[in-house]
Structure 1
Amino acid sequence: MRAAIYLTLATLFWAGNFVVGHAAVETMAPLQLTFWRWALAALPLLVLAQAIDRPDWRAVLRQWPRLLLLSCLGMTGYTLLLYSALGHTSALNASLVTAANPALIMILAVVLFRDRPAPVSWLGIALGLAGVLLVLTGGELHRLLTFSLKAGELLILAAITMWAGYTVLARRQSLPAITSTAVQVAMAAAVLAPIAAATGTGLPSDPAEAWSLAFIVVFPSLGSYLLWNLALKRTTPANAGNYLNLIAVFTAIITMLLGQPITVPQVLGGILVISGVLLTSVGQRHGGPQRPRSSKSTSSSASSSPAPAPRPR
């Protein structure tokens, strides 16, 4: 139940990132937005990690290769590609490609770690994808016939591939969630700093840009990444990935609150998405991810799964 709350809030904040980020990239470069997003979030996260997790920093830094890989995938790569795509594609095409993310995460988990999700999980994925398509096409599914991949859609496809890899690999590391997130964010800021300095990337001077950046730092950056990593300590990548379909629903709700009316297809699509999320969650609770049986199943499971930790998740 706690994982469901974490994932729901994380996707709500990320829906805000789509809305605010789309407006921000009209006047800010993707590199500028990405660098300052992580540079401003790094210090608060490190302080929070020290206050709550009190980690052995030497032991944490011994895992720097894995943490750097996660940072390059989930922070640097995904974010740069996402903001670049938002400047080159429509919301419909971008969201259609993003809707493939839960299925991609599940497939990667199957291929890389031989996870065997229960059949109900695949049904949940299908329901969620159908709901997203219904929301985004306004019930006019024939619009899918004119769908084509251009530069923006290819950038989104690359972005969700980065995120799928991040989600699957993040499940396999055993550091406290806050500490892991803080180090990854700090690494992203450090990697991007020389490039930002060379290109003269400064803080935004326009008040609207500053408020957009502040929102992105606090909610999609600090909030969503912490909540996502906390949830991955309590559930599988496939189950977490299915919640990404809620981004489209929350985006529709946010746009409605901003003055745009909500339609019947959006309501019906939202019901399908939420049903898919609940169905997958039920499948995970009662069946859980299945793995091929072998004589070494017990020992391999113990060595590959993160040990339960008493500290806050």
Structure 2
Amino acid sequence: MKASIYLVLATLFWSGNLAVGQAAVNTMTPLELTFWRWALAALPLVALAHFVERPDWRAVLGRWRVLLLLSVLGMGCYTLLLYTALQHTSALNASLITAANPALIVVMAIFMLGEKPGLFGWLGIALGLTGVLLVLTRGELLRVFSITFNFGELLMIGAIVVWGFYTIISRRLGLPAIAATAVQVVMATVLLGPVALAAGAGFPATAAEGWSIAYIAAFPSLGAYLCWNLALKTTAPATAGNYLNLIVVFTAAITVMMGIPVSLPQIVGGMLVVAGVLLAGRPRKPAEIRAA
């Protein structure tokens, strides 16, 4: 139950990141957003890890190679791809592509970890993907064969592939979640700093930019990555990945609050996504595990 709450919170925070990020890329570059996101989150995360988990920092840093890889994947590549994509596509479209991540993570987990979801896991994934397709095709599922992707959507496909690798590698990390996340964020800040300075990245110039960076640093950066890594300590990557479908639902809800109408297929599709998450997150019985 606790892992489920962590995963729901992570997806809620990331949904806000899509909406805020899309507004922010109108005046800031993806590199500026990425750098300030991690620079502001680094020290608070280190302090939180030190006082809450009290980790053996020497042991954590002893895994610097895999932490560096995770930092490059999750904090660097994924975030840059995401913000660049938001310059070319809508937050809702980006969330819809993100919803394809669970199926991708399942396939990657089968080949990389030898994991296999149970019957309800497969059913949950199928329901979730059906819900996403219902939204993409505006209720006309046969239109799936004629959908075309623009440059931003192609970047989002690349982003979810990167996130799939991040999720699977994180599952086998075996380190305190907050400390591992903190080290990854510090590494990202150090790596991106010189590049950002060379590119002329400066402080946010307006109050709107400042508030955008503050939100992104506090919730999608600190909160979401922390919740995600805490959940992965007790949750399989395929199960955790299915919760990413909720980003579509939360993004649609934010869209409604912004005064943009939502269609009936989007509502029905969102309900299917939620049903898929609940089924995939259902605890498996020993008999089901043996049968898998």
TM-score range with shorter-chain normalisation? over 0.9
Is 1:151 equivalent to 2:151 in the alignment?
Answer: yes
CA distance in 2, matches of 1:167, 1:74: 9
Tell me the secondary structure at the aligned position of residue 284 of structure 2: helix
How far apart are 1:55 and its partner, in Å? 1.1
Count of residues in correspondence between the two structures: 292
Stretches of structure 2 that go unaligned for 5 or more consecutive residues are none
RMSD of aligned Cα (Å):
2.0
How far apart are 1:205 and its partner, in Å? 1.1
Alignment of 1:196-215 (within 5 A): 196-215=196-215
Is 1:138 equivalent to 2:138 in the alignment?
Answer: yes
Residue aligning to 2:217: 217
Alignment CA distance shift 1:248-1:127 (3 Å): same
Is 1:190 equivalent to 2:190 in the alignment?
Answer: yes
Q: For the Cα contact (< 8 Å) 1:41–1:185, is it kept in 2?
A: yes
Q: Share of identical aligned residues, percent? A: 61
Using the TM superposition, name which of 165-174 and 82-91 deviates more: 82-91
**Aligned amino acid, residue 222 of structure 1:** L
How far apart are 1:266 and its partner, in Å? 2.5
How far apart are 1:73 and its partner, in Å? 0.8
Residue aligning to 1:247: 247
**Aligned amino acid, residue 186 of structure 1:** V
Alignment CA distance shift 1:211-1:288 (3 Å): farther
Q: For the Cα contact (< 8 Å) 1:76–1:188, is it kept in 2?
A: yes
Using the TM superposition, name which of 53-62 and 93-102 deviates more: 93-102
How far apart are 1:100 and its partner, in Å? 1.6
Residue aligning to 1:46: 46
Q: For the Cα contact (< 8 Å) 2:128–2:245, is it kept in 1?
A: yes
Give structure 1 regions of 4+ aligned residues with deviation exceeding 6 angstroms: none
How far apart are 1:169 and its partner, in Å? 0.6
Using the TM superposition, name which of 149-158 and 7-16 deviates more: 149-158
Residue aligning to 1:6: 6
How far apart are 1:273 and its partner, in Å? 0.7
Is 1:76 equivalent to 2:81 in the alignment?
Answer: no
Using the TM superposition, name which of 253-262 and 129-138 deviates more: 129-138
**Aligned amino acid, residue 209 of structure 1:** E
Stretches of structure 1 that go unaligned for 5 or more consecutive residues are 294-313
CA distance in 2, matches of 1:124, 1:198: 46
Tell me the secondary structure at the aligned position of residue 134 of structure 1: helix
Residue aligning to 2:285: 286
Using the TM superposition, name which of 255-264 and 268-277 deviates more: 255-264
CA distance in 1, matches of 2:128, 2:73: 25
Alignment of 1:155-170 (within 5 A): 155-170=155-170
Using the TM superposition, name which of 111-120 and 165-174 deviates more: 111-120
Q: For the Cα contact (< 8 Å) 1:118–1:288, is it kept in 2?
A: no
**Aligned amino acid, residue 8 of structure 1:** V
Q: For the Cα contact (< 8 Å) 2:32–2:201, is it kept in 1?
A: yes
Superposed CA offset, 1:28-72 (max 9, x none): 100000000000000000000001111111111110001001111
**Aligned amino acid, residue 181 of structure 1:** T
Is 1:268 equivalent to 2:268 in the alignment?
Answer: yes
Using the TM superposition, name which of 187-196 and 84-93 deviates more: 84-93
Superposed CA offset, 1:159-192 (max 9, x none): 1011000001100011111101111111111110
Tell me the secondary structure at the aligned position of residue 55 of structure 2: coil
CA distance in 1, matches of 2:91, 2:42: 30
Residue aligning to 2:86: 86
Residue aligning to 1:180: 180
CA distance in 2, matches of 1:205, 1:291: 58
